[in-house]
Amino acid sequence: MAFAQADAVESEVQRNISSFRTHRWQDHFETLENGVILSDTSSRMLQYWSEDGRVSKIYPTSVPLTEDLTRLGYTRVVRKVNGPSWRPTPSMKERNPEWPDYVGPGPQNPLGTHALYLSWQYYRVHGTNDTRKIGRRSSNGCIGLYNEQIQELFALAKIGTQVKLI
């Protein structure tokens, strides 16, 4: 009897396997000028729309560990780096004094293979070499993607791409 009830409930409930909550760009941006990136920190996903509206992508992400590390609002892409180097921010170094002062490009780099630098100091959309982080609260403020997906987004986004974190 319990199985029959569970099946009846299951057939009435629509499930989103990915658990992403998708958005319409028009609800967050006035135009698609330069393309737009919307990162939803609650559902841990990032959406991209091209300037002409023909390209739309959805990617799973890692998000900041805590609310106090999460910055929300509007920013833009100001720099793109293939093979970024990484330096911990002063607050990261304070929390983790054992961390190195610098990590060059490569498999040990927390920024992965590509990084989109935002107009907010220390914030980036970047890849990760630790794929366990995607879909989790695991970053120190940045939005992380699988390396294959940041490579694709890197090719699509340009300097001046509008970005909003919600």
* Active-site residue list: 126, 142
- 104 neighbors 30 (Cβ within 8 angstroms): no
Token readout for 103 is: 């990590």
Q: How far is CA 51 from the centre of its chain?
A: 19
* H or E segment to which residue 117 belongs: strand 114-118
Token readout for 160 is: 């001046």
Token readout for 4 is: 């029959």
